[in-house]
Chain A
């Protein structure tokens, strides 16, 4: 599976290269739009005028990852809400959504169409590590901004060859650091068993965790991996239980998360503190296991859960719920993916507002120069910050514990950059 992904990525990259060469020849005849004068002279203004901005997003609306596709509805609702209020700095946003079915080659095809036919200002967003990695070379060559990609891989921030691409959500290493900080404080002698998905995602988080606990009393005593093609993780869970670890770090995607939580609940002889990673922490994962079986499970988050009555009187949440009701009546506003879409679109709004020049270069620089930018749906204490040597907008997360029928935040937000220093390759 992993191999096919690598192959696909390679094929996609080749396709992207070919396209790029094909385009550069076209470009000769068709002079690109550039800004007229002043400090912005010579910068690219494709897709942006005095009263419009064209943005193109590529999401898995079909296929195995289609649950994430609804993020695009949260994004679209935000832009419609903003357009009703006069747009972003007087510019109305036109948001074009394309479906890649979570397949990198299709993502490349859609990125080309968005850039060459729709002539979008920026590709906002691509979803998933494979699709994002498949298009970033192409977008880099075309000098099209690819802001706030919807994936937590740390490579978007540690890489220095793709200035046009940047992440948004806390990367997997930052998340691992939050758990490491929690354990070194609360259980300084913890013995940790790790279940992880055998791919870039699982290894990113596991590696980050091992690095973060190095030198402390917290020890990883057992590790088991699974492939996404495995029918179940029950054998891995049985192996891990032999370690008698007192903490289980569960680095899984939704279905395997459900399986691991259920296996832990069934095994009454081994009762570790179960930490489930953010990817597998949605209600859709926990509910099939039975809420009574997941009490006390710990995870981490960074934005407000629309299903949590704790935020019922929060002004940002109220605005979100009202706008979703108005602009996306068919979608469930309580679905946290919609809230994610809203929050990331609001973040882009802030970045567009702070552009020095209304150009592609302007956006590229703006997303890399964010200073403690507040966004309504992010948790209190979580802000967007980037700058020289920091290409990770969000690096703060807060722990949460499952109680009753929902997550409850606890402790203080953990700023992982402050605690552990900048993340480098």
Chain B
């Protein structure tokens, strides 16, 4: 294998992990657009949804039927979480809400462990084994499949944000809840919708990555850090940014791990943190994000 195909192979591996990060980053972006908060529990909710799908399949339901059922359950579950856990602290400082989501993270993780134990579960593969061979570079079907689904979800979110009235409504709620309420928007409902949709997108992410990462309660914990880096890099309010950010983080992480000896695999985990720090210093709104403007 020549050095060039070797490099390209590493890039493809990077895109594969990047697609995983992007899928969860989309859910983070979605909930941020709706509610203005950063949800630390997003990954764990996605993991919980994946267990729901696993349980349905394990009890004999065909996968392609279990998937829509899982998405519906996740949507309802997300709304329920907003109503029960988040609503009581609505109006409290943002930090309070963020800390509640951290608590939710720990609770959901422990709950999944209690119900399904910490042993690795056998999750059905949606994409066939094997892959393409492009001039010596191997591309797995699963990588292509994940990238494809992520692109579709990104497109749908873009349409939702830019071309629907609910996109406008949620921007109003996230921007200024009291003004939104005064102009007749039912803020509580919008927030519930936001949590429900984000949980659904998270469920897609969990189901997509489970065959690659293997399902157990800590499956999404590591992914979340990279998804944060992706969303920060791309801009927390842009679905396109989340995906581009995710791919950049994935490729950067893989290449530094493989070619920069000082970093190697040991310090690879530092790459997303460096990206977060650099973005916040240089361009806090991210590559595709819109800077927050405060009226004087």
Contacts and interface: CB of A to CB of B under 8 A. Distances in A.
Q: Do A and B come from one complex?
A: yes
A265 B217 CA distance: 24
Nearest to A68: B118
A236 B257 contact: yes
Interface residues of A, number: 35
Contacts of A258: 120, 214
A231 B20 contact: yes
Interface stretch (B6-14, B82-90, B190-198): B6-14
Nearest to A259: B214
A401 to B, nearest CB: 22
Interface residues of B, number: 46
Nearest to B259: A239
Q: Is the interface of B mostly helix, strand, loop or mixed?
A: mixed
Interface in A43-73: 62-67
Given A231-B222, A239-B258, A288 B121 contact: yes
B118 A225 contact: no
Contact of A231 (B6, B17, B118, B257): B17
Nearest to A238: B13
B265 interface: yes
Contacts of B55: none
A227 B218 CA distance: 13
Contacts of B140: 266
Interface in B89-135: 113-114, 117-123, 129-131
A254 B120 contact: yes
Interface in A252-299: 254-255, 258-259, 262, 265-269, 284-285, 287-288
A255 B130 contact: no
A287 B122 CA distance: 7
A110 to B, nearest CB: 19
B177 interface: no
B226 interface: yes
Interface string B204-230: 000000001111111111110110000
A232 B118 contact: no
B70 interface: no
Given A238-B254, A285-B120, A288-B214, A66 B113 contact: yes
A252 to B, nearest CB: 12
Interface of A: 62-67, 198, 224-227, 229-232, 234-236, 238-239, 242, 254-255, 258-259, 262, 265-269, 284-285, 287-288
